[in-house]
Chain A
Amino acid sequence: MIEFKNVTKTYGSIKALDGFTTKIEDGKIVGLLGPNGTGKSTSLKIAAGLSKPDFGSVEINGAEPSKETKAQVAFLPEIDHLYPWMTIRRCADFISAFYADWDWDKYKELVEFLGLNPSTVIGKISKGMRAKAKLLFTFSRNAPIVLLDEPLSGIDVLVREKIIQTIVRDYGKGGQTIVISTHEISEIEPLIEYVIFLEDGKIKLEGNVEDLRFKYKRSLVDIMKEVYGR
């Protein structure tokens, strides 16, 4: 379980998170939604242990973010964070050394499924292929918690479909917790079970997707438009 308790984070004069409080239960695919600059990436970075709250706290399965919790979390940032001079295989060798949950069989299956060539140098492939490579390293692990920050950002439609297929491919209901932050809801709407809408670092609306659809009698995309008054 990921628990945010009254988390506040500011960057200069900008409040990225403002008393953010929520509990993300195990075994769910959760959508962290909202327009740009609402605190989605900040909350994921804090959960991944890359950033620290100014006030409040975050707990990953009852423990504050640390190197122990990092072993349970697979974090996919929005930006390209892989060594550009490494080949995909070399990068897999590098990352695999740090995680007990790395699964080489899964890696080989995903390489094929995503149409990647292990001998390709990461810095020399297209943005779409890099997005696939990032996903490969994230899902080659059997991490209990997966944090995906804008996994579809700037990716063409065909690659988006492949990414979504990858996310749901090995998702074992009841086991893995996947948190997806995005401002592009239509593609991930069929995936997510729980949704958190953020605005100005605060929760604007949260709940089970089915309950919200039933309550508002409309799709998540339309609920979002109503929530943000657009």
Chain B
Amino acid sequence: MNTNKGRMFARLYLKDLQDIKMESAIFMVSIAIWNLFLYLKYLSNWPYELSLGFSAIAFGIAAFIPFVESFKLLWDEWKHNTVYLIMSLPVSGTMVLLSKLAVIVTQYMALSLFSTACFLLLAYATPAWEAGWSFIRSVITDQSLPIKFAMLFYASSVVGIMYTAALAFLSSVVGKLARKHSGLASFGTFLIAGYVCSKASDLISRGLEKLGVTGLYYNHPYVLRDATISGFPTAPMLSLLIVGAAVFILAVRVYESAVEL
């Protein structure tokens, strides 16, 4: 039999992807129905701003579901005793957790892009599209700014998801070290690690800015007409990536050296 790391990673990734497929599909169908409902409400004389506002709720849910899933993916391995299978495989903890991280990011991208598509369709079907574009185009000099800003925001959100998933992995594996009340131990670890990491991230971000990496805000934030995005990636994004990577490595270390069955 041919075994290589790429194939092993793919199997782990596809296995977890299969596991979350149903939840993701349910969410997508719900969002589609929700947006259809909002469109019908707009047709029945709801203000379109209200319909779009409610449609935007899906963005929050699209981020919340992968966050919950990052706990669930690990906890389910214990719940179904499949952790016995996973831990007996000849693979590193890095590969096991990295495949789960890849699944979380995939789910976030699928859900957020689907929510965005539904939101844009709704906007397109209402006067918001024309009004919004007309306004933006009339006040900005750089016509590509909205796309650039959306990409910057989206890349930041992906980094944010990776960071929270790493925190969830660390909390979950630390929780599994506790003989009793492992859920409480996970929750406590998540809060404490989250606090420490946010402080560390702030410090690193400030340090990066001193080194010349640009801050989050685009230039001239109060003068939309001359706005430009001054750099990519931004210092907060980089610092979150650095802290998230450190947390992920720590989670792998705990998983490999301390988690036992």
Give the interface of A toward B (CB within 8 A): 12, 45, 48-52, 67-68, 70-71, 73, 75, 77, 79-85, 93-104
Contact = CB atoms under 8 A, between A and B. Distances in A.
B261 A99 contact: no
Nearest to A77: B84
Given A94-B11, A102-B1, A81 B84 contact: yes
Contacts of B8: 97-98
Contacts of B11: 93-94, 97-98
Interface residues of B, number: 25
Nearest to B80: A84
A53 to B, nearest CB: 10
Contacts of A75: 84, 88
Given A97-B3, A100-B3, A83 B88 contact: no
A184 B15 CA distance: 36
Given A50-B88, A85-B18, A94-B11, 16 more contacts: A12-B179, A67-B90, A70-B90, A75-B88, A77-B81, A79-B84, A82-B85, A83-B82, A83-B85, A84-B80, A93-B11, A97-B11, A98-B3, A98-B11, A99-B1, A104-B1
A83 B81 contact: no
B139 to A, nearest CB: 52
B82 A81 contact: yes
B87 interface: yes
Interface in B1-44: 1-3, 7-8, 10-11, 15, 18-19
B119 to A, nearest CB: 32
A68 B87 contact: no
A95 B7 CA distance: 11
B150 interface: no
A85 B19 contact: yes
Interface string B123-158: 000000000000000000000000000000000000
Contacts of A79: 81, 84
Nearest to A79: B81
Nearest to A83: B82
A48 B10 CA distance: 24
